[in-house]
Structures are given as C-alpha cells and as structure tokens.
Chain A
C-alpha cells in the first residue's frame, strides 16, 4: 500500500480529480448555456424570418400609400385644370361658332379630353376623385362621351342606340371604363380598322359590346386581364409594369366599386377581342324627359286658341318657338303712372322750349355770349 502512497502518480491523480471534476462541470454548464443560447438564437432567427415577410409587406404598403396620396393630389390639380380648360374651350366654341378657328378649337377640345381622362385614370388607381357628378344620361350618350376621350375616336362606330339611361353616379365611371376599353381596342389593332360598339338589352340589364379587329390576346394576357378585371389582384400604382398598363387595372377598380362587370375573354367576329360591359339594372333608369320644348311656351300660347299648323294654302306655318317670343310684357303695366301735375309740367316745358326756339334770333349760333 505504501508504495502506492509514494507513487507521485497517485498524488497527481488525487490532485487532478477535483480539477477534472470542476472542468467537467464547467464544461457541462457551458454546454447547457450554449445550447440555451442556440435555442434562443434559433427562435430569434425564426421570428425574424417570419416577420421579414410582414415587415417587407408593411413597408410596401406604406410606400404604396405614400405614392398614392402624392399622385392623388397631383391628379386632383390636373383634373381641375382639365375641367376648367374644357369650360373655357366650350365658351370659345360658342363665341367663334362661325369662324374657321372652330376647327382648331375642336381639336384642342379633343386633346383636352384625352388629357383629362389620363389624369382621371391615375386618380382612380389612387382612390382619388373621379370627377364631377353628371346628370342622368342615355347609354348612347355615355358611349359617345367615352368615344370622345380616346385618340382615334373616328374609328369607333356605334351601331345601335338604347332606350335606357344611366343613373347619375354611374355616368362618369362607366364612361371612363368604356374609354379605357376603347383605348385598348384602338391601340392593339391596325390603324384603319374599325371598332364596333353594339348596345343590347339583355334580361340582366344592358350590354355594351366592343369588337375590335386587332390581333387578340394570348393566354397570359387574358389571365392577367381576368385577374385585374375581377379585382382578384389588388391593383395599385406600383404593380402596373413597365411601361405601365393602366387600362385593365382602372376598369377593374371601377367595375368592382360601381357594380358592373367587364369581360374580355371572347373573340370578336373580326378576330380581335370582344369586350362586354354588363350594366346591371340598378345602374339603369329611364331616359330623362326632354325638357327643352314645352317649357317656354307661356301665356300667349295658352291664351290664343290652338292654331292649325298650316295655312289655308297648305303651307306650313312658322311657329314661334317659345324662347324667342318672350318679349318683355308691354311696358304700361310696369311703368309708373305719371300724375297729372307731372304731365302738365312736362307739356309746359315742351311748349316753352319750342317757343323759345322759334323766337330765337337765327343769326346767333345758339351760344349766347352773355
């Protein structure tokens, strides 16, 4: 046994054991700590990974909102200017109706309408102002209004009319959506090919059918259009592509906001695209009564017995339209009556004047030096 005691290895062992034990314990502790740290880190990265998508989306939404509000207010200014300009042009057209300048004014008017529509379309994508509320208008007039907002409007032929009118809140959005469809139709077809519009009454409302003779759309384009038109894809100003394609995005927003449907999935008889706008019944109303004719015919017409429309010789009689014949009523009623004293003094003054004129010396030239 003693030789064991003398063995330095034993002492070394004895001394080493607690050290080793401490080292082992420390190592274990460190490992445990590391593993918790690792778990923590793992958790944190998972968190970050999860939040990353949300954070990016958040940033995207915020930048989209900022873009939208900036564009919205810019467009609002432009739209206001376009409207003002349109009014100014209207006045000029009335003033120079007979002048050669009218032709140029009509062209300027056309350019202004296109400019106004562009601003309106961007405003729609930014949830902005659509324009002033219009009066109830016939479907035919709304289609014609849309036609006037595109560049090559003379290629658009409206083949039929309709007895329906659009309620006032739908006039501007439908006109704008139609204008975007027509713009697409004219842009993607040959420069001299016609665009046909047919208005058809269907059980669910009124259909406006736009046929072009263009090249049509491939599957990918159709899918994109369908997504945008059915508002599955949130349209925004940032997702329009480069160069930006506004058309379908604008139409999709308008259709979902005002409750009409637009489809472009069929082919036109000319091989191009057939776009169908279905206006449901709640956007439709009866045609407004024409108000110009009966209103101005007032007292005179009522008092006089109804005359026949032709003379004894069978010639048509010219009938005065009410608004021309509104002559101010005879003045006696309105003019304040003069009292007899006033009348007498006026007559007296007149007489004195003529007398002095006759007695005056004809050699004097009217001026009396005194």
Chain B
C-alpha cells in the first residue's frame, strides 16, 4: 500500500531494492513465509539502522504482523522484506512466531456419534 502521491507512474523509487539489501541474495532458510508473524522486540535501536529497517520496526511495534502485510505496507518485494527481516531478527530486533498450525482433523466416528446423539434428541 503506498500513498497516492508515491504512485507516480513515471518514476521508480530513488533507492533501488538491490541497494537496500546491499546485493545480498535472498535467504535460503524457511524462517519466513508469507504468514509468519513478527513483532518488534524491546531492544534499543542502533542509530545506524537503515531507514527501511527502522520503518519496518515501527510498523510491527504495535503487535504481530505477517510478512505479507509488512511487504504490502512497505511497498517492497517480499523477497527484499525477508532479507530485512532475517537481518533484524538475527540482530535481535524482531521476535517471530510460527503461524498457528492448521486444526487437527477430528475422528469421523466421533462426529458420527455427535450426529447420532443430536438426532436422538431432536430428530
């Protein structure tokens, strides 16, 4: 999501994404996927932190945000956001939380029993 005045169709951003990551490759680890949740830790920020990293920390200082949401807010490609996130979390600025696991499948026989019970009572 960018503010409307940033969406000028004619000129691309002044600082290109490869400069923001300083030419590093995308992280191989699966530490972050689209729905990994991150939040800022209490650690004091170094004054030399890049503006992008600072605004990323500002963004998720209010609570947990997913990687996809952060990328959307910052207007950066997701791969670039992942590089920033892995930097920040290795420096201790971020806390990550794995997404909630999908619900376990319930045994069919249990469901059948519930259904039978309901039918016996109301059917």
Contact = CB atoms under 8 A, between A and B. Distances in A.
Contacts of B1: 296, 323
A321 B65 contact: yes
B73 interface: yes
B22 interface: yes
A89 to B, nearest CB: 8
Contacts of B64: 316, 318
Contacts of B59: 321
Contacts of A132: 10-11
B109 interface: no
A43 to B, nearest CB: 62
Contact of A153 (B17, B23, B69, B81): B23
A161 B62 contact: no
Interface in B1-28: 1, 3, 5, 9-23, 25-26
Interface in A97-129: 97-100, 102-103, 106-107, 109-110, 113
Contacts of A103: 25-26, 79
Given A94-B77, A140-B51, A134 B26 contact: no
Nearest to B37: A318
Using C-beta atoms within 8 Å of the partner chain, give the interface range for chain A.
Answer: 35 or more
B47 interface: yes
Nearest to A110: B18
Interface stretch (A21-29, A57-65, A141-149, A356-364): A141-149
B110 to A, nearest CB: 32
A193 interface: no
Given A97-B77, A97-B78, A317-B63, A295 B3 contact: yes
Interface of B: 1, 3, 5, 9-23, 25-26, 34, 39, 47-48, 51, 55, 58-59, 62-65, 69, 71-73, 76-81
Given A135-B14, A154-B22, 4 more contacts: A144-B15, A148-B15, A153-B22, A323-B73
7 contacts: A93-B77, A100-B26, A110-B16, A145-B16, A153-B19, A291-B5, A323-B73
